[in-house]
Amino acid sequence: MVWCSGWKLASAVSNSGGLGLLGAGSMHPDLLEEHILKTMAATSKPFGVNVPLMYKETEKIMKIIALHKVPIVFTSAGSPDKWTGWLKEKGIVVAHVVSSSIFATKCEAAGVDAVVAEGFEAGGHNGKEETTTMALIPAVRKITTLPLLAAGGIGSGETMLAAMTLGSDGVQIGSRFAISEESSAHSNFKKLITKIGEGETKLTLKRLAPTRIVKNSFFEQINEAEQIGKSARELLKLVGKGRSKTGIFDGDLEKGALGIGQISSSINEILSVEMIIKKVILEYNIAKENLQKEERFSF
């Protein structure tokens, strides 16, 4: 959710009955502080900050989060050992994002309050093992009694119900909110995402950090370099810096890295957060009712 999830999106989600998250992955500490304050002004409901742990400024970010008493933190892209205790001492609820049940076990040991299990179909950074939501959620459910949120492939009420059926207690929706009206992504990006079809995103950069992006010119460049066996160092040079900003925030659809999930192929409209949540819950309840009513579900 880098370059998508600022105060507008986070507060809209919280105001509409969800748990809004600020994406710290695309914010320097001072900008994050501004967004925290604006979110607090825009909603009286709980909200959280997602903190990818691989960035250098994590310590500064955590201090700002604690200073402003943000109630909930989702950590990702790193070990849950390092920050969970520190955050919990300050009364902050901690969820950690994992891509395997082994990492989920580590979350339990680290004392997190909830686990987000994210499948291969999710956008942006992704696990090396490539386990899909369908295979991952039951596996994580089996090894933990912690509250479990499913992520990856969830953009509708039917996919939400499927995820719940697999054993989750809730879902984390990315792609659908990334192109909501309140997302800070560029309108070029939002429009593109409403048009892309199946197979138009791919997990790439597997030698660096696996990332699902749209198959644009930037992707093709990377893909070609990988095919001919370029080293991680050469790939890193080719990627350069700020590619997500270039694509998602500045709207350069060819030079940018356009992180988005597979389920984007089913999203073809830009709606307000309130409307998205209403639609998803309505679809969820209809699908749940149909399960009981329709003969085809009886075995």
Cα–Cα–Cα angle for 208, 211, 214, rounded to 5 degrees = 130
Residue 148 · residue 241 · CB < 8 Å: no
Using the rule CB under 8 A, give the single segment among 40-48, 61-69, 79-87, 162-170 that binds a copy of itself: 162-170
Encoded amino acid at 5, one letter: S
Residue 92 · residue 72 · CB < 8 Å: yes
State the Cα–Cα distance between residues 229 and 207, nearest whole angstrom. 10
State the Cα–Cα distance between residues 221 and 215, nearest whole angstrom. 10
The reply on whether position 129 binds a copy of itself by CB under 8 A is yes
Residue 264 · residue 215 · CB < 8 Å: no
66, 139, 271, 286: which one binds a copy of itself (CB under 8 A): 139
133, 184, 204, 244: which one binds a copy of itself (CB under 8 A): 133
Rounded to the nearest 10 degrees, the angle between the axes of helix 81-89 and helix 58-67 is 20
159 vs 184, beta carbon nearer a copy of itself: 159
202, 245, 255, 278: which one binds a copy of itself (CB under 8 A): 202
The reply on whether position 199 binds a copy of itself by CB under 8 A is yes
State the Cα–Cα distance between residues 110 and 96, nearest whole angstrom. 10
DSSP 96-151: EEESSHHHHHHHHHHT-SEEEEE-TTSSEE--SS---HHHHHHHHHHH--S-EEEE
CB of 252 to a copy of itself, least distance (A): 25
The reply on whether position 203 binds a copy of itself by CB under 8 A is yes
The reply on whether position 161 binds a copy of itself by CB under 8 A is yes
CB of 35 to a copy of itself, least distance (A): 28
Element (H, E) at 7: helix 7-15
57 vs 130, beta carbon nearer a copy of itself: 130
| Residues in region 229-268 near a copy of itself by CB under 8 A | 229, 261-263, 265-266
State the Cα–Cα distance between residues 182 and 135, nearest whole angstrom. 32
The reply on whether position 165 binds a copy of itself by CB under 8 A is yes
The reply on whether position 159 binds a copy of itself by CB under 8 A is yes
- Give how many residues touch a copy of itself by CB under 8 A: 55
83 vs 284, beta carbon nearer a copy of itself: 284
The reply on whether position 154 binds a copy of itself by CB under 8 A is yes
The reply on whether position 208 binds a copy of itself by CB under 8 A is no
* DSSP code, position 229: T
37 vs 143, beta carbon nearer a copy of itself: 143
The reply on whether position 227 binds a copy of itself by CB under 8 A is yes
Query: Which of 109, 153, 147, 123 lies closest to 135 in space, CA to CA?
Result: 153
The reply on whether position 98 binds a copy of itself by CB under 8 A is no
* The pair of three-digit structure tokens given for residue 18, joined into one six-digit string: 């969800």
The reply on whether position 130 binds a copy of itself by CB under 8 A is yes
Element (H, E) at 72: strand 72-76
CB of 32 to a copy of itself, least distance (A): 30
Report the DSSP beta bridge partners of residue 169.
none
Which stretches of the chain bind a copy of itself, using CB under 8 A? 100-102, 119-121, 127-136, 138-139, 142, 152-154, 156, 158-159, 161-167, 169, 198-199, 202-203, 227-229, 261-263, 265-266, 281, 284-285, 287-288, 291-292, 296-297, 299
